[in-house]
Structure 1
C-alpha cells in the first residue's frame, strides 16, 4: 500500500497549506525581527521567525520534525511572554493567542505527518490540540470578563442618606455648581434599584452633528431649572423642554456659523430674583427691574457672540447688549474664519458672565487674543478684561484699542468660589504648539497654568503653572474642581483639583495657589530645534496618583497579533523617546501621553460625602515631527492631527496618533479608564477599564463584542450621594452606572448612538421622580450620529 493510499489527498493538501501559513508567519517575524534587532530591540521575533520559517518548510515537506520544532518554539514563546509581560491578561493575549491557534493546527496535523513517514499515527497530537483548544476557549471567555486595573480593597465608606431639606433643587451650571463638582445630593436612584431604570422620554433636537471628528460634535450637558431642561446643539440652537416629558416649550436659533469646531458644551443661567440687587450708584436713579428676563439663559456661540435669552420664552433679553446680544469680536482685531470660536459654557459668577475663547491651533503666529472678559449679566456691559500680556487688567473703553494678539487662551470651562471671590482660569498656550521660540515672557508665565482672578476687578491673585514652556499642547483642558480636603489636623483646606492632558492631578490651595499634594520638579529632556528654547525642569504631581502617565518601554507595545505588536515595537524603537516631555524635533519623537490626554475637557467629579475624586482618561500616544519651512508643502493646521503650517515660524509640524497598522493604540490596554482617588489618603481606590469594542474594532470595523478592553473616553462623569457614578463618554453606545465605592459596573443602557456628553440628574418638582439625562449625538470616532436627549427614571408609581 503506497503513501497516497494511506493518506487522503485532502489531508496532504491541508498539511501543505498549513506549512505555507506557518512559513509566511515565520518569514514575517524574521524580516521584522531583524529590523527590530538593528534598532536595538528584542531578539525574540527574529529567533522565533527563523525557527518558525524552518518549521513551516518542514511541514510543507510533511516532516514530523516541523511539528516538533514549532511546538518547541511555542513553549519558548510561552516562557518569553511571561518574562516579558508578566501575568497581565491582555499583554499575554497579544503574544500567545495567534501562536496557540497555529500550534493547535500543527498538533492536529501530527498524525498525518507521522503516517507520511510510515509511522503509527498515534493520538498525542489530538490530545495536545484539545488542550490548546480548551486554553483558547478559556481565554475567549476570560476576554469578556471585567478586569480592574486596581481593585477596590479594604472597608468601603457607607452611603450617607441625603438629609431632609438638603436635596439638590436645580442643575444650574455646567458642572452642576460653579465649583465643578458634578455631584448631586439625591438618593432616589440607588445601588439597590438602579437596575430598574428605564427610558422615561426621548427628545430630538433636529441638529445632527455630521462630522469626521473635527467639525460638528454634540458635547452638550443640559441645564435643569425647576420643571424645565435647557439644551444647546452643535450649531447653538437653544431648546427648552419639559423636565417630565421632553416636550419642547420653545427654541431659539441664533443662525450661528463657523467653518469648523461646531459644538456647544453648555449654557449659563442667572436668576435676578435670587441675586442681590445691584449696589446703588450715587446720583444715579436705580433702574426699574424689567418684567422680562428675570430668569435668563446665557450662551456663547461658535461665531463669537454672547446671548441672553428669557428662560420662559426664549426671546432675546432687550436690556442685554444690543437686543440680547454682545459681539465678542469687538476689540479682537482681525479674525480669519474659524480662528476664534467659543464652545465652553459661559461662567456665571454672581453678577458677571466670564468668557474666554478657543483660538485655532498651529496655523500661524499672531492669531487672535486669548483675552478673558467679564460682562454684567443684566446689561451685557463690559466689566473687566484680563489681557494676558499685561501686568494689570485693562478696560479698553476706546473702540480703537485692541487686545494683545496671540496670547494664551482659556478655551475650556472656568470655576468660581463665591466665598473667596475668585474665578479660576485653566489656560492654554500661545499657538503654535510645537515650536515656541517666539513666545514672550508673559506667554511663558501664563501658559498651561491655573490663574486665580478677583471676581470684582479681574486682578490676578495667584498663578500656578503645570507645564513650563509647553511644546506638547498640554494646555489645561478641564474645569477645576473645588472641594475641601482634610488637613491632617482635624480640619480642612480649601482645595482646587486640576486634571491635565499629561495625566497629572494637581491639588492646590485655592486661596493661595500653593500645592497641597507634593509636586516634584524633574530634569526635562532637551531638544535641538532651530530657534527654540527648552525649560530645564518640568513639574509632576507626585503627591496624587498619575493616571496613564508611566514611562513606556518596548515591552509595553501591543497588538491584536504578534505581527502588529512587532510592528509597533519597530515604530517605538524608531522614535526618539526620553519619557514624558520628550520635545519635538526634526526627527520622529514619541509624545506620551498625547495632546488629546490623559484627561480632557470632560473634567472630574467629586463625592464630598466620601472624599472620592473621579477621573476618566484616554491613553493615546502621538508621534511628532518638525518640518523645516523649506520642506513644508501642505497643511493648514487647526485640526488635532496631521500636517500643520505653523506659518511665521521656522517649522511646520506633523503629528498623528501612535497606532498599529490595524488602527489600534500601540501600547497595551486599557486605552481608557475610570479612576477613584481618595483625597484624604491621596491614594488610588480603584481603577477600571471603561468601554468595549462593541461598536468599534481593528480598522474601524465593529466587532459587535462586549469585550471590556477599555477605550478612550471623552466626556464627564456624574456622582450621586446614593453611591452611584454615571458615565457615557465611551466609544461604545452605552450609558453606564458604577458603584462609586468599588468601581463595579451595576447597570448600563444601550443608546441609539454614542455620547460625548456628561449625564445630569434632578428630581422633578412636578412629579417627584428622579431622572438621569444624557445627550447622545455620536461618539468621537464613530460615523453614527444622532440628535437624541434621553431621560431615564425608575418605573412610575
Structure 2
C-alpha cells in the first residue's frame, strides 16, 4: 500500500513527514504533461518509424510515458527517467542537426523548459533513502534556466548565413542604360531593370535619421485577392502610380499632394493589382509618327493597364484620357484573342516603353484549363495606340493582326513579368511564363513547350525572334520566369566586359547569359533529374543548372531538416515529409503528393533583382516555402474540392485527366515544416560570381503560429515578396517581409542600418528620387498589407532626412 508520507532528512537522519498538497498537485500535473507528450511521441514515432523515419521518437515517447506515471506516483525514478530522456535528446539533437542554432532550438528548448520544474520538484518526491540535496537540484535548475535565458537572448540576434569577411575589392562592370540621376522614370528605374539609383544624399552614415516626410492614401484599400503593390514613377517633379482597381494618380513629389486622379471604371476580377505604370514623352515621336508639340494634349502621358484588359493613355499634366490615343484614350487588349472567360486575361506588371512603342504581354489565371488566351506579345504605338507588330510564337507568320476570323494562337506561354530592353542592341528580352495548366502538360503543343519558362530576345523594330534560352525543359512545376531580366556589362577577367543578362528564377538558379546571343557566360550544365511522369505526360531526362553562379535556397531537404516550434509539430512534419514523394529537384507530380522545393512561389519572384552598378554586386531576395502538389484523378476531383479544408488550393486543370490540390508544407500550427530561414537577402559579386554575404530577412513580429502575431523581433528570416533597390552611396532599401518595415542595409556587409515601421506590410519594391524644388532625396514605398495577415491598407509613404 502507498501512503502519503515520505521519509525526511533532519540532522542527517531519515524520517517521515506528510507531503505538501501543493507539491502533490504539482507533481501530478507534471506527470500528466509527461504522459501526454510521451503518448503523442510514441504513437507518432511508431508511425514515423513505419515510414522509414527516425527511431528516436518512439522510445523517447515510451520513456516519457513511464516517467509520467512514476511522477504522478511521486516516485523519484520518474524524474530520473525524464532527465535521462532529456540527456538522450541532447545527444540525438547534436547527431541529427549539428550545432546550428534554430534546428537545436526546435529539438531542445521545450524539453529544457520541462527540465526546470522537474529539477525544482525533486525534493517533493517520496524517498526511502535520504533525499537529494535540495541545493544541488536548485543549482541544476538555475543552470538550465540560465541556458534558456541565453537561448532566448540568442534568438533575437541576427545571424549571417555567409558573412562579408575578407571579401575582395569590388570590380564593377558597366551600366547599360541611363536616366536623369534624380528621377525614376521606369518600373526598374531604367529598362535595364537594375533598380539602381546614382543618388548619394542618403548614406550609411546618416540613414538612421530617416523619418516619414509625407503619407498619401489612395482611397482604394485592397479586398480579398487584391493587392496594393505599386512602385510609382517620378518624372519632372511628379509621382505617377496606380491602385489595385486600376485607378491612376499623380502626386507632387515634394509634398505628396494629389495633383490628379483618373478612374477608368474597371470591372474588378479575382486577382486585381497594378505593379506600375509607364511614362512616355510624345514630343519625341517614335515608331514612325511625328512628335507632338509641348502645348499639345498629352504631350507627356502615362500608360497603364486595367484589370479588365485595357491599355490606357492619360495626360501626365491633367489626368484626362488622351483622345489622340486608341479610341478615346484606350486600346482593347482582348481584340483578336478569342474566348476569354471572366478573370482569365489582364496585365499586372507595368508596360515597357521603348522607341515610341509600348510593349504588352499579359497574365492568365493559372491551372484552369488547357484552352486559354494566347501569350502573344504586342507592340503598340505609344503615340497613337495603333498596333505596330505582334509576336505570336505559335504562328510566326502573323506579324500584326491574325487573318480575318482567326485569333492569335491560343494556350501559348505568356509574359506576365516586365521585359527588359537594350537600346544599343535593339533587343527586347522577354521572361516567358508557362503554358496552362502548369502541373500536367500531356496536351501541351510542342511549340508551347519549347518556349515555356524561356528567355526570348526579340528585335524591337520588327518583333522577330533573335534567340531564346530555356531555364526548364517541359515545365510541369510552374517554374515560369517571374522576374524582369537585369542588363549589365560584367567584367570578363581580361580588363574588359561582356554584355550580360542576369535572370533570377523561382528555382533559386541565377542564369548569366550573353545578351547578344543568349549563350551562357556563367557555365550551365544539364543534369539528370528524377523520372516517373504522371499518366499521359512525359518528363525531360535532364534539366539546366547554372553551375557557374551561386544558387540560393536550393539545398536538398531531408527528414533531419524538418522543423517546428516544438518536437511535437516537428514530428508531424517528419511524418508528412515521409508520406509524400520527394526525390530532390524536379520530383514528378503524383497522386500520392509531391513535395516541391523550391516551391512555385520561389526562390525568387516578381520583385526581381537589383544590381549595384558602381560595385558590381547583384542583390536578390528569396522565398523558402515548399509546396505539396497532388494530382487528383478527374473522377474524384469534384468530391475532393467540395470537401476541402482551410489551406487547400484547388485548380480544375479542365480537359486533363487530373485536377490539382496544393497545400503549403506547414505544420498544424502554421509554421513552415523545414528549418529556418524562410526568406533571405544575398549579395553576389558579379566579378567573382561568389556570394559576398547572405542573411535571413524579416522577423516574426507581425506573424506567428496559428496566424497570431508574436510581437517579437526574432530575425528568423521570413518569406519576401517585392524586391530590393540599391544606391550609389552603398545602401540597399528593401521591404517585402512579413513584418511591417522598410529596411536599409549596408551594401558591402548586409548589416541593418535603419528600419522604418509601416502601418501595414509593404509587399512591393521601393524607389528613390530627388524632388526638383528642394533637391531633397526621398525613399518611397507603397504599403498595402501582406499575405500573412488580413490587415490591408492604401498607403504611399515617403521618407527623407530632416533639415533640408
TM-score by length of 1: 0.96
Partner of 1:488: 493
**After the TM superposition, which residues 205-244 of structure 1 pair with which residues of structure 2 at under 5 Å, given as runs?**
205-211=218-224, 215-244=225-254
CA distance in 1, matches of 2:692, 2:585: 25
Are 2:725 and 1:711 aligned?
A: no
Contact 2:171 2:616 in 1 (8 A): no
Structure 1 counterpart of 2:365: 360
Distance 1:640 1:718 in 2: 33
Q: 1:292 to 1:119 in 2, by over 3 A?
A: same
**In 2, distance between residues paired with 1:517 and 1:570?**
39
Q: Does 1:86 align with 2:91?
A: no
SS at structure 1 position matched to 2:693: strand
Deviation of 1:272 after TM superposition, in Å, equals: 2.9
Instruction: Say if 2:164 is the partner of 1:152.
Output: yes
Tell me the residue number matched to 1:679.
686
The residue correspondences of 1:600-615 to structure 2 (distance < 5 A) are 600-615=605-620
* 1:535 aligns to 2:540 (yes or no): yes
1:652 to 656, 659, 662: 659
1:196-211 paired onto structure 2 within 5 Å: 196-211=209-224
Partner SS, residue 633 of structure 1:
helix
Deviation (angstroms), 1:393: 4.7
Q: Distance in 1 between matches of 2:686 and 2:167?
A: 16
- What 5-or-longer segments of structure 1 have no aligned partner? none
In structure 2, what is the equivalent of residue 516 of structure 1? 521
Displacement, 1:504? Answer: 0.8
Pairwise CA distance, 1:286: 9.2
Deviation at 1:359, TM superposition (A): 0.9
Q: Which residue of 277, 294, 304 corresponds with 1:267?
A: 277
Report what 1:426 is aligned to.
Answer: 431
Gap change, CA 1:488 and 1:640, over 3 Å in 2: farther
Determine if contact 2:171/2:491 at 8 Å carries over to the other structure.
Answer: no
Superposed displacement of residue 52, structure 1: 1.6
Aligned 8 A contact 2:781 2:798 in 1: yes
- The answer as to 2:74 corresponding to 1:62 is yes
1:98 aligns with 2:103: no
Summarize deviations over 1:243-295 as a string: whole Å, max 9, x none: 0100000000011123211000000011134x366658xxxx99888711111
Cα displacement (A) at 1:753: 0.5
2:650 to 643, 648, 664: 643
Q: CA deviation at 1:166?
A: 9.0
For residues 16-36 of structure 1, the C-alpha deviation after alignment (integer angstroms, 9 at most, x for no partner) is 110111111111111111110
2-structure distance, mates of 1:25, 1:709: 26
Q: 1:737 to 1:356 in 2, by over 3 A?
A: same
**8 Å contact kept, 1:111–1:123:** no
CA distance in 1 between partners of 2:789 and 2:129 (Å): 55
How far apart in 1 are the matches of 2:108 and 2:180? 53
Deviations 1:178-220 (A, max 9, x none): 0101000000000000000011001110000022xxx210110
Q: Deviations over 1:43-96 (max 9, x none)?
A: 011121111211111111111111111112111111111111111110000000
Is 1:323 matched with 2:328? yes
CA distance in 2, matches of 1:270, 1:247: 22
CA contact (8 A) 2:70 2:78 kept: yes
Conservation of the 8 A alpha-carbon contact between 2:285 and 2:383? no
**1:92-145: CA deviation from partner (whole Å, max 9, x where unpaired):** 000000110111111111111255766365322111111100000000011111
Paired with 1:664 and 1:395, the residues of 2 have a C-alpha distance of 50
Of 387-396 and 777-786, more deviation after overlay is shown by 387-396
Q: CA deviation at 1:153?
A: 1.0
Shift of 1:7: 2.2
Distance 2:278 2:63 in 1: 66
Residues 166 and 185, structure 1, Cα contact 8 Å, conserved in 2: no
Does the 8 Å contact 2:337/2:407 carry over to 1? yes
Q: Does 1:51 align with 2:63?
A: yes
Say if 1:2 and 1:382 are closer, same or farther in 2 by CA, change over 3 A.
Answer: closer
Q: Provide the residue aligned with 2:12 in structure 1.
A: none
Taking the aligned partners of 1:120 and 1:793, their CA distance within structure 2 comes to: 64
Rate the CA distance shift 1:116–1:770 in 2: closer, same or farther, 3 A.
farther
What is the aligned counterpart of 2:476 among 451, 471, 492?
A: 471
Please point out which of 19, 33, 51 is paired with 2:45: 33
The corresponding residue for 2:201 is: 188
What is the match of residue 564 of structure 2?
A: 559
Q: Does 1:136 align with 2:148?
A: yes
Instruction: State the 1:632 CA deviation.
Output: 1.2
Q: Which residue of 1 aligns with 2:399?
A: 394
Q: In the alignment, is residue 77 of structure 1 matched against residue 84 of structure 2?
A: no
3-state SS in 2 of match to 1:37: helix
Residue of structure 2 aligned with 1:8, choices 14, 20, 29: 20
Tell whether 2:317 aligns with 1:312: yes
Q: 1:501 corresponds to which residue?
A: 506
8 Å CA contact retained: 1:150, 1:688: yes
Distance 1:167 1:644, change over 3 A: closer
| Stretch moving more, 220-229 or 2-11 | 2-11
Contact 2:381 2:388 in 1 (8 A): yes
SS at match of 1:580: coil
Q: 1:183 to 1:330 in 2, by over 3 A?
A: same
Residues of 2 paired with 1:156 and 1:487: CA distance?
A: 16
2:440 pairs with 1:435? yes
2:299 matched to which residue of 1? 294
Q: How far apart are the structure 1 equivalents of 2:133 and 2:291? A: 103
Distance 1:221 1:640 in 2: 30
Q: Post-superposition shift, 1:401? A: 3.0
Measured at CA, do residues 278 and 578 of structure 1 come closer, stay the same or move farther in structure 2, by a change above 3 Å?
closer
Query: What SS is found at the alignment partner of 2:472?
Result: coil
Q: Give the Cα–Cα distance (whole angstroms) in 1 for the partners of residues 427 and 488 of structure 2.
A: 14
Superposed displacement of residue 155, structure 1: 4.4
Is 1:574–2:586 an aligned residue pair? no
- Where in structure 1 do 4 or more consecutive aligned residues deviate above 6 Å? 285-290
Alpha-carbon displacement from aligned partner over 1:523-560 (angstroms, at most 9, x marks no partner):
12112422101111111111111111111011110000
Cα distance in 2 for partners of 1:549, 1:119 equals: 54
- SS of the aligned residue for 1:416 comes to strand
- Partner of 2:134, secondary structure, is coil
The two structures, once aligned, show a CA RMSD in angstroms of: 2.1
Distance 1:99 1:234 in 2: 48
TM-score (norm 2): 0.95
Q: Is the 1:7–1:116 Cα contact (8 Å) retained in structure 2?
A: no
Is residue 521–residue 538 contact of structure 1 (8 Å, CA) maintained in 2? Answer: yes
Q: Which residue in the other structure is 2:593 paired with?
A: 588
Contact 1:393 1:459 in 2 (8 A): no
Aligned residue pairs, count:
786
Structure 2: gaps (5+ residues): 7-15
Q: Does 1:343 align with 2:356?
A: no
Distance change >3 Å, CA 720–CA 598, structure 1 → 2? same
- Give, in whole Å, the separation in 1 of the partners of 2:591 and 2:338: 34
* Inter-partner Cα distance in structure 1 for 2:292 and 2:230: 35
Is contact 2:286–2:357 with CA below 8 Å preserved after alignment? no
- Aligned match for 1:747, one of 746, 754, 764: 754
CA distance 1:641–1:477, shift in 2 (3 Å): farther
Maintained 8 Å contact 2:272/2:307: yes
- Whether the 8 Å contact between 2:402 and 2:408 is mirrored in structure 1 is no
Confirm whether residue 598 of structure 1 aligns to residue 603 of structure 2.
Answer: yes
2:287–2:357 Cα contact (<8 Å) kept? no
